[in-house]
Structure 1
Amino acid sequence: MMTIDVREAYRRALDDFGALVHRITPEQWQNRTPCVDWDVRALVNHVVGENLWAPELLAGRTAADVGDAFDGDLLGDDPLKAFDTSAAAAVQAASDEGALTRVTHLSFGDVPGEEYVTEVFADALIHTWDLARAIGADERLDPELVEACAAWFAGAETGYRQAGVIGEQQPVPSDTDAQTRLLASWGRRG
């Protein structure tokens, strides 16, 4: 269960990710990230792709309806503009009347829009840490967003792990802070 409005959490997570995107220097686009096989450019491209999918899925379209429109390089010659434009569209789509109650058709089945927005919020939050780590920025995540994500992920972790979309749970001491525990549950080593 989310401890704050999921639309607000999603907007804030994308804002934090975007702030880091704007700090990427030309030589950092090739830096490795904690995400296996992704450099910084691939990570940002992934988030832009998710942002582009959000308006489509929240409008009730299916993956078949959209096809391969968001495959490949979505950043082009202006990655900052690509991110900013996609994030604004995603946040707007999540805020639209009825978006949270509308059926969203995902690859694994139909879910309410609220569940989908929660999933993309969590992904944006975790990838904010990934990007910060990759470019040597401050890795501290918004504590309120960490709390909200952890509350939701406690019920979703098993399904994510069984689907193979997150890494193995990392061991952490019992007195570890909330952010480190959350990252460990997503398979990240803090």
Structure 2
Amino acid sequence: MIIRQEIKTDYREVENLVRESFWNIYRPGCYEHYIIHNMRYAKSFIKQLDYLIEEDNHIIAHIVYANGKIHSNNESKTLPILGPVSVHPKYQKQGYGSKIINYTLKKAEEMGYPGIIVVGDEKYYSRFGFEKAFKYNIHYEGMDRNDEAPFFMIKVFDKNKINDYQGIFSNPESYTVDIELLNEFDKAFPPKIKEKIEGQLE
């Protein structure tokens, strides 16, 4: 197993991996591979935290981070958000996701970030030290400030510095998906059937 940074020649293989990982999970089809594609060319992209795992010369896991913004008192500061993180279906539930998350969180702390935001399953991410961002007076854009939003979490590296980051968090611009452009982008990949499955978010 090798953990290394993504390079340009990995791009299409990684996009295929991401597509396989998320297909029909949260919605019919997926758009995470399109987010990854756009993220690499965005100013918010944190290239130093763009990592993958190789096993037997195949890319089986991938993770990215990008800078979101926290708005407060007519000013804004950047704070990284984790994800998407992807593991090929054949390698899921074998610890690869935990390995790449822990590895890059350590890198992020070494880079001096006060904390990392994530939106996801609180039961899963709490094992990495993530807790409700509400606790630090950081709120998700579009949510009521009184809503604790357990899916909106933060991993704090420096509790003193994080006090300066109170406010409303907004996602990086690359998280926004134009469905028509997504459908056009998806034509470059092998055909897959979109299915509506119980439990999907959309």
Length-normalised TM-score, structure 1 = 0.32
More strand by share: 2
Report the TM-score, using the length of structure 2 for normalisation: 0.31
Larger radius of gyration: 2
